[in-house]
Structure 1
Amino acid sequence: MVQRLFFVLIALTLFSITGCSNGGETTKVSIDRINAEEVLSLDPDADVFQYEGVIYKTNIDWVEELSLTKDVQIGEIKTKNDTDTNFKDEMANKLPVGAKIFSAKERGDILIVEVEGEILKYLAIVEG
């Protein structure tokens, strides 16, 4: 009797595992990107720029409190757009043209911008 119950439990376990599989397909998790228009509609005074299709925003309290180290330069602000919300890569609404963009050693979702000796921290704005 115990042996039969054991085999039934194993069969049910295997059936459950097999029934819950996705047939060998991979599951893709994606993060949707928010555009400049969405960010600026929520905060019209936001200081933002776009890099590799992602909008980055500064003046976020918890980000400002982080101790971050500037890593390699990955770009610079090439154009300024303070008239509308149609942004392209390396375009900012408040940063001056020529501001240097650096990665942060400690975090991949924060970029560091250096403007006339001042360091600003920008967080990637994404929705998941």
Structure 2
Amino acid sequence: MIRKLYVLIVVILLLAACEIQPDNNEGNAEETIGNPTAEEVLSSSPDADIFMAGDIIYSNAEDIDWVMEADLTLGEEVMEITKQSTNIQEFESGTATELPVGTKIFDHNEHRGAIYIAVVEGEEIRYIGLIEG
């Protein structure tokens, strides 16, 4: 008897925890969660120092203490900046808002998040991937 009561309580809790999703045809807007786009970043911060690698936007991390304090060493080169632009229609992988064309982008040898390192005139500049989730 106690076992049946326990099972019933678990089933009720599971059902209560389930959320019924609204039908989008009823006028409810569906919120999409995904990585920020260049358009979203530049719309809110037109002067943002970003670049795009693949489908990920990387943002200058000079104001993020844990990124700047991390002991990172340059790994392999992952890409080169091929275009400089703030035009969101032109933004694609290899495009940067501030990094000059020809800037080499490197991964790091430590496995500590989505951090890339740009090297400009011998100076290392750290960028962090804007990844949701």
TM-score by length of 1: 0.73
SS of match in other structure, 1:127:
coil
1:43 is aligned to 2:45: yes
1:52 corresponds to: 54
1:121 is aligned to 2:126: yes
Amino acid at match of 1:102: F
Unaligned regions of 5+ residues in structure 1, if any?
23-29
2:28 corresponds to: none
Unaligned regions of 5+ residues in structure 2, if any?
19-31
- Largest Rg, 1 or 2: 1
* C-alpha distance in structure 2 between counterparts of 1:32 and 1:57, whole Å: 16
1:7 is aligned to 2:20: no
- The CA deviation at 1:48 is 0.7
* C-alpha distance in structure 1 between counterparts of 2:10 and 2:104, whole Å: 56
1:75 corresponds to: 79
Q: In 2, are the aligned partners of 1:55 and 1:124 still within 8 Å (CA)?
A: yes
Aligned length: 116
Q: 1:35–1:13: structure 2 CA closer, same or farther, 3 Å change rule?
A: same
**Aligned Cα root-mean-square deviation (Å):** 2.7
1:61 is aligned to 2:57: no
